[in-house]
Amino acid sequence: MAKDVLCEVNSCVHWAEENKCNADSIYIVSHSSQEASKSAETDCKTFEVK
């Protein structure tokens, strides 16, 4: 299980200083219709705008 999640999406309500994610858990999905083969094809579904 990931313990220290780093994230640069500072418009998210779960974002904290030093690029830390303070959500209890995060949910990542593939945004392509096929299986993701690179990180650019994934998104965080836990994102909530500040």
As measured in angstroms, the least distance from the Cβ of 21 to ligand SF4 is: 3
Q: Binding mask 1-40 vs ligand SF4 (x if CB under 6 A, - otherwise)?
A: ----x-x-x--x-xx-----x-x--x--------------
- Cβ proximity to ligand SF4, 26 vs 36, nearer residue: 26
Backbone angles phi, psi at 12, to 5 degrees: -90, 140
Q: Extract the tokens encoding 39.
A: 């990180």
Contact 19, 5 (CB under 8 A): no
Residue type, 15: W
Q: Tokens 């303070």 sit at which residue?
A: 22
Binding positions for ligand SF4, rule: CB under 6 A? 5, 7, 9, 12, 14-15, 21, 23, 26, 44, 46-47
